[in-house]
Amino acid sequence: MWLKFLIFAGLGYMVYKALAGPGPEKNRPRMDRQDVRQIDDVMVQDPVCKVYFPKREGVAAKVDGQLMYFCSEECMKKYLNQK
């Protein structure tokens, strides 16, 4: 269980890094602002508590080969325990 958690934490960090992008926000071209916002602020629904939250602030977990997002580690664990 602890090893599983480490894998999920690492996965979440990788997703966060990928979404955060290479540079600071202010260096991004102004024309792309809308696209950047869509990527940064895309809202996803937690399958456990049905709350909507920004993807990059959620916890990512790979379930059956599919990347799922949860509002918190508690919800992630609940979801995994349900399965």
Instruction: Kindly state whether residue 80 participates in binding Zn ion, applying the rule CB under 5 A.
Output: no
What is the maximum span of the chain, computed from C-alpha positions, in angstroms?
45
Residue 79 to residue 32: CA distance in whole angstroms:
36
CB of 77 to Zn ion, least distance (A): 10
* 49 touches Zn ion by CB under 5 A: yes
Which is closer to Zn ion, CB of 19 or CB of 49? 49
CA distance 76 to 59: 7
Q: Residue 27 CB, nearest distance to Zn ion (Å)?
A: 33
Residue of 61, 75, 76, 77 interacting with Zn ion (CB under 5 A): 75
CA–CA separation, 2 vs 16, rounded Å? 21
CA distance 70 to 44: 8
Task: Work out whether 46 is an interface residue with Zn ion (CB under 5 A).
Answer: yes
Binding positions for Zn ion, rule: CB under 5 A: 46, 48-49, 71, 75
